[in-house]
A = this chain, B = another copy of it.
Amino acid sequence: MVAAAIETIAEEGYPRASFSRIARRAGLSSTGLISYHFAGKADLMSEVTQDILGRFAEHVLAQSDDGSPAGELRTFIRANLEFMSAHRLDMLALARIQAHQPIAGQAEVDGEPPVTVVAQDQRRLAEVLRRGQDTGQFRPFDPQVVAGFILALRNHVIEQSADPAADMTAIGTELESTVSAMITITGER
- Using a CB–CB cutoff of 8 Å, the interface residues on chain A facing chain B are 12-13, 15-16, 99-100, 102-104, 106-107, 139, 141-142, 145-146, 148-149, 152-153, 155-156, 160, 162-163, 170-171, 174-175, 177-178, 180-189
Contacts and interface: CB of A to CB of B under 8 A. Distances in A.
A139 B106 contact: no
Contacts of A141: 174, 177-178
A148 B170 contact: no
**A-B pairs with the 8 shortest C-beta distances?**
A187-B187, A152-B156, A186-B186, A145-B174, A13-B103, A182-B182, A181-B182, A142-B174
Given A141-B178, A142-B170, A181-B181, 4 more contacts: A12-B103, A104-B163, A184-B186, A185-B188
A77 to B, nearest CB: 13
A106 B8 CA distance: 13
Given A182-B182, A186-B181, A12 B106 contact: yes
A55 B160 CA distance: 28
B162 A103 contact: yes
A7 to B, nearest CB: 13
Contacts of A106: 12-13
A34 to B, nearest CB: 16
A138 to B, nearest CB: 10
A97 to B, nearest CB: 13
A15 B15 contact: yes
Nearest to A155: B152
Nearest to A156: B152
Contacts of A178: 141, 146, 149, 182
